A and B are shown apart, each in its own frame.
Chain A
């Protein structure tokens, strides 16, 4: 696969992010306005400076007018994008490409989702009319397939497996406890995670990311213009998305311990950004920890851990805040919840804060290269997104 990419051609000069929470008192419009205006202020621009916008949302609106209405933008193009859980990242990717093409000088990428208005537990997405023969299992169920398959393949007992998964959740809750914008800001004892009520066995409720409302936004310009706005922009090194053929449902060689979309998207991003050894070269990562076994598999798919060794790296603290490669320093989906359209941009927001030294109690020591990752869909059929962003130009 050959592609040129847009490494170092565009930069982020302003970002905004609402707190992720059960926003009973805020509408989709409110969340969009709050995130966008925080980004405008951060970039030091006026709303009227934006030349085009990309809105990511899965179920909280449709068409560009979902954004242009509340923001009262004046007839600029607004594109609504959707790519399941990679929706926010996809909005960002399209906005970056538009700037890199030279079509626009300054654009807005924004993602929003309001999940708590549905009245249902967990995530529910509308389906097109169909024959109704596919089993109607839940999102945690589709990811929980990973756990028994991984334990079986690498010879982990149920107890060992449980400890590994709990430690992932524990780590993300600890990180989230240091983050004022997280939905959940408490540390959670490992034992409580291990003994939480079953949602999709072997996953308990504490293996699942929360359900939240939220919005996040980014202002993007070409790299050569970035310093007109700020001295410390974030540079985009690689953007990659892989949509899978869904063969996990069809082929026996898909063994539920690796998701090829993750492998393909990360390898493409590493090539684009010139990364040879991700574990050494990447300072921090925000990955799609929708459920604890997802994060475990991601470590191996993204090359942070050798195959079959991810669980040992977890137990050795490799991905903790003080570890070799901190993963989900902001608390991840686990602490933030997962308002679909907003999550990808929320991850980039953490990278941005960390590069600028604005991450407060969870600030890492001078991170240079960051990675964000989303997985939209199920392990059997998904889209996987990987970005590489940096503090400096290469």
Chain B
């Protein structure tokens, strides 16, 4: 019963972690806007969120004899995971919009727009969490 209560919070919590992760990646891109040869990175939020949901759904009930890759036989080919080895979201490379002589693929205007977009969404997620926790609290107190 309590699991149902906190399900919405769990979802928003995962979204918050991914948003902060993406914020970090974009901050690195902006920091390296002048570094020769730097390739911009980004997280596909939709994919990462799906992967986080899937891993959470799989984690509590691992199949009997299953390995960490989700295979049940050593000769099975593991599915391509959208999460990297460290458990963080998969990092993709950004598309270069304006080729530069120094090999830097960061488009500063786009990164700034992404940064603002991501911070607004981060704040929205925070408000959702605050809203659900207020709802829960008022339901508990019964006032």
Question: A and B, one complex?
Answer: no
Q: Which residues of A contact B (CB under 8 A)?
A: none
